[in-house]
Every structure is written in C-alpha cells, then in structure tokens.
Amino acid sequence: MSGTSLDGIDVAIVRISGSGREIALTVEAVDERPWPAGIREELLTIADPSNGFDLSQAYSCPLHPRLASIYAEVISDVAQGAGFDVSELDAVGNHGQTIFHDPDAATTIQLGDPVRMAELLGVTVVADFRQADVALGGQGAPLVPYMDWALFTHDTDHRLLLNLGGIANVTSLPPNATPSDVTAFDTGPANMIVDALATRLLGRARDENGLVALRGQACESVLDELMMHDYFQQVPPKSTGRELFGTEMVDRFMALTSKLSSEDILATAAAWTARSIAQAVQEFVAGTPTLMWVSGGGVHNQAIMRGLRERMPGLNIESFAATGFDPDAKEAVCFAVLAHEALNGIPTGLPSVTGARSRAFSGKICIPGRTG
C-alpha cells in the first residue's frame, strides 16, 4: 500500500484462510520502505490538479511501469528479509498510487501496472480495486471497511475504526453488523494538510509526533472558516483526495493563518483534522458508538489524537495496536484480504459505504505468463 500521504510503501505478508466474518489471518511480517529519490516529488507533481497533468495519458506515462518495478522490488526485499522466497507467495494485493479520484466523473486513477508486477514477481497480482465500484455508480472508496466488517464486527459493541492517512476515513460497525449495516466515508484531510504545512514551515516531511503542533494554540476563527467547506456538509457516501485538499487548499490555509506562528499554524491544522472527524461522527454516524480504534500514520500525531479525545469525550479512543495489529500496516493487510477474497470469487464492494448499485467484485486478477 502507498497512500495519499505519499510517506512510503507499506508491505504486509499475511497468511489468510476463510472468507467474510470467518476469515482467520496471521501477519507474518510488516515493513515500510521509502520512495526512491525523486519519485515522491514526481508523484506529488502529477497528483496536484493545478499542474495540469494530462490525465488521459496517465497509464502511458513512464511512472506507471516504473512504480510496478519499485513495488516488485520492495515486495521481494521485504519477503526475503522475513525469510520467504517470493515464489512462496500465492498472490500480491496492490492498491497502486492514486493520482486522481473523482467518482462523480466516473474516474479514478492508480499508477503501478499490475500486469508488469505479476511478470516481474512471477506471482498473481490483484489490483485496481476501485474501478468496479465506480463503474456501478459508487465512490470506489473507502475500501478498508470490508476488512473492518470481516475482522472487527462485535456481537454487542458498536465500534468505529478511524484511519488517519493523507485523508481520514471512518468505518461504523453497529453490533452484529451485516455488510449492508456498515457505513464508512472519508471525513476530510488528516496528514495531507499537516504534512504539506510541515514541509513549508519546518523544511521536513512531517511534524514528527505532532510535537511542534503541541506547542501551539489552534485558531478557532480559522477553524470556523475552514469548516464551511462544502465537503463537510455533504452527506455520505463520499470520498475525497488531493482534488479538494491539495496545494490550493494549503495555499488558502497559509493565507488564513499568515499572522500566526509556525506552532499555531500546525496546531490549527491538527485541530482541523480532529474537528472535521468529530463533526462527521456526530452528524453522519447513527447509533451510539463507545469505542474508536485509530490507525494510519496520524495515530502518532499527539496533537491530532489529543484533539480527537477532547472533541469526542464519550468515546474510548485507542490506537489500532490494541487489536494486536500494527496501526501503520492496516491498509497493507487490507489489500492482502481483498486480494484473497477476489481469488475466492467473493465481491467485497459495500453499497452501503460507496453508494454503488450493487456489490462490486473488487480487483483485477493479473496472472503471470508461464514458461516451459
């Protein structure tokens, strides 16, 4: 998995059996690798709508096969480090790198050619998970709620699972939920704005652990202005990305906070993430959840986590680590699960989440050529 925050490539090696709520899995290894020099910057340039990249040529641009090679190399390296040969893998699930996502225009683009990956690895690759749902009129995202439902639905507890990647998304699992009972949606920006501001203000990729933001004071009047964005009023199903919360939004944020210190600017950005999530839960999540598990890189941002607890005092908010899983590897594990289900012929689309007309069969199965 490489997400909208573009902070690296996460790999999970997972042993899986069963299907649906009968899935049993063991995570054999997890690791993260940085992008090779220059690749992250190229992807950020392409993903920024203001740069005018010709999206009609996305799959013919050099980064499409290049990312496949990078993914294959990282998977091989992590497998070898964990004591596995790539030939032992039954399949690889790969999300690819999103550079554009506009389901209203029936368009979602992830780079990293899965056919090339399959040939390089000699292993079946399942990828392009969003397209089928979009073809059925859905948002094509978020994708993680299927795994949330399969692994974490409880007979009596109402649980929320929040992922803080570049974009924040929340899954609501009522007690003993069926697939049609699950609701989930993108709440707005998480690390995307915070990291972009850290790059501009601090000269580094992120505000490590949110320590700079913790020294600042959020500006409530700026937060009031930011929360007037149309996305926060939109009723789910909904999903978003850099199209709404990219460079133009960072520029606007900087203009609104031009008189603040760096500490206060980052504190305001962290508070925006927390406030937008709290408001979304209050307005769009039915029932009375009592527990929220938080995953993704943002779980390490103490300013965001403090803000969530302050704004949702009735919830027990814990790191996803409390489930026994690495909170940084949840989405990588998810794409192993989605690949496993695709190979079993199981549709993993959730119309209650995405608004699709029916359950999508998510993932294109790419089988490597055979020799001899």
Q: What is the set of domains in the chain, with CATH numbers?
A: 9-140+330-366 (3.30.420.40), 145-323 (3.30.420.40)
With CA atoms as reference, report the closest residue to 88 among 9, 29, 7.
29
Tens of pLDDT, residues 37-86: 999 999 999 998 888 889 999 999 999 999 999 999 999 999 999 999 99
Q: How much is the pLDDT for 343?
A: 98
Tens of pLDDT, residues 196-252: 999 999 999 999 999 999 999 999 999 999 999 999 999 999 999 999 999 999 999
Q: How much is the pLDDT for 371?
A: 58
> Under the phi-then-psi rule, with left for phi > 0, alpha for psi from -120 to 50, and beta for the rest, what region is 119?
alpha
- How far is C-alpha 352 from the geometric centre of its chain's CA atoms? 19
**Which whole number is the average pLDDT over 260-289?**
98
This prediction's pTM: 0.94
Tens of pLDDT, residues 336-363: 999 999 999 999 999 999 999 999 999 9
- C-alpha pair distances (Å), 138 with each of 107, 247, 284, 368: 11, 26, 18, 30
Q: How much is the pLDDT for 176?
A: 97
